Structure 1
Amino acid sequence: MSTLKVGLIGAGGISRVHADAWRALGVTGYVTSLVGAEEIAADYGFEVVDDVDALIELVDLVDIVTPSSTHADFALRAIARGRDVVCEKPLADTAEAAAVVAEAAADAGVRLFPAHVVRYMGEYQRVKAGIDSGRIGKVAVQRFSRAGSAPASAWFFAESTGGGIIRDLMIHDIDQAMWFAGPVASVFAVQNPPTVDDRVPVPVTSHVVLTHCNGVISHVHGSWLAQGMPFRTSVEVAGSAGRLRYDSAEDHSLRVDAVADPGAEDYLPPMSPQESPYYAEIADFVAAIREGRTALVTPEDGIAAVAVAEAAYASIAAGAPIEITPQVEEAAA
């Protein structure tokens, strides 16, 4: 197979972990961005291209790592030219726009991969394995927390154009909650302090409560804090026969509070610290293309996460829970 040609649209902070993964996979890389393209090209051996459309014409696959409000437009432009697409979360700023992108990809026969990287983090994969194996019985309650320094770029704080703490930060754990417990039926959310004139204040905290279609309740907490505050995540899933828990501030081990099977030692294998989850997600998508299989994250997963985030903002505005209609039928993988 000829060397894969990949075009990176964007050169911000997240672009570097994507570029590192592509370099490790041995692709021929191109990059375009209003700012920072030359630095990415120099550091990762990519070639700078003057504009987005020229880059799309050169490559087999487009990787979108730009501000959220631009994701849908760039994805549609790449799809229209028959290119496979990797798109950083969120897939779009609204569920409607995300569905349009997914439908366009399906109609064009190209692959679309929303980059929800937390699914590729070993601790969360081990929680998922514990749930699926029945290790903690029937799941009842899930708790997720994600907090750290607020981002520096201004666009993150404009909710109307794809920013906001829920759509940017908490969408990671919204996706995890649905990965663990399935689709969501209703959403209730609060934020303190509130957004004023479309600007999210800092520090800011939000709490989102998800009621899943199967009755599981998920509590999702997120905070953007003052600069310099360390980043911390945690997850806890409680079931009828035990609990699975991970907290990044403690160490890198998943904690299991459950009765061990007779003769069992540790039912979960140790996580390797060697592999970047960003590499794992991109390698999975490339393998999915080559093997003709579904990747771990699908277009409908990307749509669902945006729909729940959108419902959370609607809940804050209404001061009441928001019901969610069933998600779109599965798009072509």
Structure 2
Amino acid sequence: MRRLEVALIGAGLIARLHLEAWTAVGAAVRVYSTDGRAPELAREFGAAAAGSLDEALDGADAADICTPTGSHREIALAAIAAGAGVVCEKPLAADTAEAEEIVAAAERAGVRLYPAHDVRFDPAFARLHELVASGRLGKGAVARFDVSGYHPRPWTGHLSARSGGILTDQMLHGADLAYWIFGDVVRVYAQYQGEIAAPAPEGAVAVGTAVLTHAGGALSQIVSRWTATPDPPARISLKVTGTGGTVVYDTQWPQQVRATGDAVGKIGRFGYVGELPFVTEIREFARAFQGGPEPRIGARDGIAAVRITQAAAESAWTGRAVELPVEGAA
């Protein structure tokens, strides 16, 4: 099989994690960044450095976009026009309209487009998805997803303070998990406290919370936090209850998983087992670009996540719940 050629756009922390993953799966990577850090990052991993976006995209099978959110649309459309597939770090775009434009362009061009939502590729959350999809947790699910992390530097997307800050950034992790596990969201009610200015100052502290009503009847609460200290740098926990039992999980204590009811004995071992989620994610994307099976996330999942978080920002700003249509409904 021919070696995959990837244009990695960006040279920050997420680009580093993606480059490490692409290297692990055997791709040939050329790195481009407008901030001048690409050559150093490329040398560290034995990759090539490109002098321009056009040079990076020339002959690439896929472009991996790891730049601030406000630049995603321009880079994605350039990659699609060059005939390259696209991987785009979350969120896919600054708002729903831009996300829809990017996806529509990819569909017209016949190229693959995958939003990079790495949390879906954690074994614990993938297992939860299997449990719910198989019906082992029963019906009438109520869930809470808690995401917290240190926010050590200004965020640089072009979202305004009115967009909601934490509600459109970090909350996407929990929103995407809820959408993946329980399906379409028809109602969002959200609130926030703390710093949401753009750019947020170093060490910003904020809390955003949203209640999602799913079309199938499940209720999900998403709580997102920017913490004042970097210990731990990131933490995700969940509690999901249905008529068949309850699942509890925390990434800080992966060995402490508790289940009750019919779910006992059916869950197996939650926790970090095998390769890191970033590598699992990139491996699935690489196989798809080489003609293999589609990964567990697709382009329209990226739109859905942006739509949910944008609704959360609107709700928090107006103080009212936001109703969302189910895609494809009359």
| Same fold (TM > 0.5) | yes
1:316 pairs with 2:319: no
- Evaluate the alpha carbon distance shift between residue 54 and residue 291 of structure 1 in structure 2; reply closer, same or farther with a 3 A threshold: closer
1:105 pairs with 2:106: yes
- Evaluate the alpha carbon distance shift between residue 66 and residue 57 of structure 1 in structure 2; reply closer, same or farther with a 3 A threshold: same
CA distance in 1, matches of 2:256, 2:106: 39
Question: Is the 1:130–1:244 Cα contact (8 Å) retained in structure 2?
Answer: no
CA distance in 2, matches of 1:21, 1:162: 32
CA distance in 2, matches of 1:154, 1:114: 19
For residue 327 of structure 1, report the CA deviation from its aligned partner. Answer: 2.8
Aligned to 1:244: 247
Question: Is the 2:148–2:235 Cα contact (8 Å) retained in structure 1?
Answer: yes
Question: Is the 1:157–1:163 Cα contact (8 Å) retained in structure 2?
Answer: no
CA distance in 2, matches of 1:66, 1:194: 23
Gaps of 5+ in 1: none
Letter of the 1:172 partner, please give it.
Answer: H
Aligned length: 325
Q: 1:235 aligns with which of 234, 238, 241?
A: 238
1:126 pairs with 2:136: no
The range that moved more, 285-294 or 141-150, is 285-294
Gaps of 5+ in 2: none
1:276 pairs with 2:276: yes
For residue 269 of structure 1, report the CA deviation from its aligned partner. Answer: 4.9
- Evaluate the alpha carbon distance shift between residue 193 and residue 161 of structure 1 in structure 2; reply closer, same or farther with a 3 A threshold: closer
The range that moved more, 146-155 or 108-117, is 146-155
Question: Is the 2:65–2:88 Cα contact (8 Å) retained in structure 1?
Answer: yes
Aligned to 1:225: 227
- Evaluate the alpha carbon distance shift between residue 65 and residue 236 of structure 1 in structure 2; reply closer, same or farther with a 3 A threshold: same
CA-to-aligned-CA distance 1:64-92 (integer Å, 9 cap, x gap): 00001111110111001110111001110
Question: Is the 2:163–2:310 Cα contact (8 Å) retained in structure 1?
Answer: no
The range that moved more, 29-38 or 175-184, is 29-38
The percent identity for this pair of structures is: 36
CA distance in 2, matches of 1:25, 1:246: 29
1:305 pairs with 2:305: yes
User: Does the residue aligned with 1:256 lie in a helix, a strand or coil?
Assistant: strand
CA distance in 1, matches of 2:6, 2:328: 29
CA distance in 2, matches of 1:260, 1:48: 50
The range that moved more, 275-284 or 135-144, is 135-144
For residue 260 of structure 1, report the CA deviation from its aligned partner. Answer: 6.2
**Over aligned residue pairs, what C-alpha RMSD do you find?**
2.2
CA distance in 1, matches of 2:328, 2:98: 13
Normalised TM-score (structure 1) = 0.91
For residue 157 of structure 1, report the CA deviation from its aligned partner. Answer: 9.1
Aligned to 1:293: 293
Normalised TM-score (structure 2) = 0.92
Letter of the 1:291 partner, please give it.
Answer: G
CA distance in 2, matches of 1:270, 1:214: 26
CA distance in 2, matches of 1:160, 1:193: 12
